[in-house]
Structures are given as C-alpha cells and as structure tokens.
C-alpha cells in the first residue's frame, strides 16, 4: 500500500459510517509494515490482515488508514468486527470443493470475490462450511490472496512446498509461505516453507 493509495482512501472512502461499513472487509497480504499506517492485525509473522473499503462492482480496494477512526468515531476493534461480519456473510455463498485426483482430502474455496479468499483462514463460518467436506480441524496454506488450499491430513504438508513457493513468488498479491493450523481455538502458523522469507517487495 503506497502513500498514493492512502490519499485515494481518504478522498473516496465515505465519511459516513453507515455508508462505509457495508463495504469494509478484511484483506490478507504480506506487508507487516502496513500495520503502522493501516487498520488491521497480524495473524502470523508474515500475514497482515488489513481492513479495506472494497467496491465489489468496480473492484476498487482502498486501505483504511488509522485516521478514519476519528472520522467515524469508532474504535479499531469495532471496524475489525464489522469487516469480519461482512466477510462471513460473503462466505455463506461460497463453495468448498474437493480437488480432483489429489489422493487426499484437499479442498479449494470458490468465492466470487477471488482476492478475498485468503480471509477464510480467520472466518468464524469456516468450520460450518468446510467440516462436511473435509472434516475438522484442518490445515491450510494461503500463498496469495486468491489461492487457498484446505486439507485434513498434515502428512501432505511437505508435498505442497513447491506450489506454495511458486504461487507466493509469482502473485501480485502474496500472503504467506507459512502452514496454518485452524481449530476451534483459532488460526496459528505452525511452520514455514521458507523460514527466512523476507517481506516481498
């Protein structure tokens, strides 16, 4: 997220909370430094869950800088809760589909807003959606914003390394080379295919 994006956000995000809140969603990205300027939270060493204002009709996505809290007279926790609720509502219409011929229970997420897919890692609705397909708890990789694999057998983790690396390095919206475990207690990174991987520029 650049300073130019920040300027655009200040100019285009509605000052009226009731208008703005409907389009606030989370967005995972590999920019830990963004937490100094933008609303959001770190969910792992690599992955920052930014809060953005997203126009799904045009695809416009603007990072919400911390100055908007004063404009809206809201706390950051309130904006985060709003974003997560909005994404959970999106997930209601998503499909969890098995990958063919994988030899394991590996699932992908079919979501119209493809660049928001990685947010399934933190969704309160994920268990409801995925458990009938591959069970629960699960593991996941999210090398980029629009590519997520969910699986129920941790023995396949070593096999996913090349895919994670290629997706992370070649995507304009990389997220993480980590492996995540997702349980009733939440999401936690349990390993990294590239422990020394720096933030992608």
Secondary structure of 65-91 in the HEC alphabet?
ECCHHHHHCCCHHHHHHHHHHHHHHHH
Query: 20-24, 103-107, 133-137, 172-176: lowest mean pLDDT where?
Result: 103-107
Alpha-helical runs (H) found in the chain: 3-12, 17-20, 68-72, 76-91, 126-134, 161-170
Confidence of residue 9 (pLDDT cuts 50, 70, 90): very low
pLDDT tens-digit profile of 65-96? Answer: 999 999 999 999 999 999 999 999 999 989 99
Q: Which residue has the tokens 């349990």?
A: 190
Confidence of residue 101 (pLDDT cuts 50, 70, 90): low
Cis previous bond, 137, omega within 30: yes
Cβ burial 28-56 (10 Å sphere, 16+ → b, else e): bbbbeebeebbbbeebbebbbbbbbbbee
Neighbours of 9 (CB within 10 A): 20
Burial class for 11, CB neighbours closer than 10 Å (0-12, 13-18, 19+): exposed
Tell me the C-alpha distance between 92 and 71, whole Å. 31
CB 117 within 8 A of CB 111: yes
Across the range 105-111, mean pLDDT stands at 92
Mean pLDDT over all residues of the chain? 89
Tell me the C-alpha distance between 100 and 104, whole Å. 9
- Tokens representing 63? 């990072």
Confidence of residue 58 (pLDDT cuts 50, 70, 90): confident
Confidence of residue 63 (pLDDT cuts 50, 70, 90): very high
pLDDT computed for residue 37 by the predictor: 86
Residues in the chain: 201
Beta bridge partners of 54: 61
Confidence of residue 11 (pLDDT cuts 50, 70, 90): low
Across the range 12-28, mean pLDDT stands at 94
Dihedral sign, CA of 126, 130, 132, 135? negative
CB 109 within 8 A of CB 148: yes
pTM above 0.95, yes or no: no
């Amino acid at each position: 997220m650049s300073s130019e994006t920040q300027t655009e956000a200040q100019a285009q995000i509605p000052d009226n909370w009731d208008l703005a809140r409907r389009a606030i969603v989370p967005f995972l990205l590999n920019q830990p430094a963004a937490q100094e300027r933008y609303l959001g939270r770190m969910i792992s060493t690599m992955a920052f869950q930014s809060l953005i204002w997203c126009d799904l009709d045009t695809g416009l996505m603007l990072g919400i800088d911390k100055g908007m809290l004063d404009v809206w007279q809201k706390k950051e926790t309130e904006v985060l809760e709003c974003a997560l609720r909005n994404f959970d509502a999106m997930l209601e219409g998503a499909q969890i589909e098995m990958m063919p011929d994988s030899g394991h229970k590996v699932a992908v997420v079919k979501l119209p807003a493809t660049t928001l897919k990685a947010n399934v890692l933190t969704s309160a609705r994920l268990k409801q959606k995925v458990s009938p397909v591959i069970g629960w708890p699960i593991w996941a990789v999210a090398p980029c914003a629009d590519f997520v694999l969910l699986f129920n057998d941790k023995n396949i983790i070593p096999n996913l390394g090349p895919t994670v690396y290629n997706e992370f390095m070649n995507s304009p919206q990389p997220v993480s080379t980590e492996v995540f475990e997702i349980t009733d207690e939440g999401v936690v990174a349990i390993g990294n295919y590239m422990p020394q991987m720096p933030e992608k520029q």
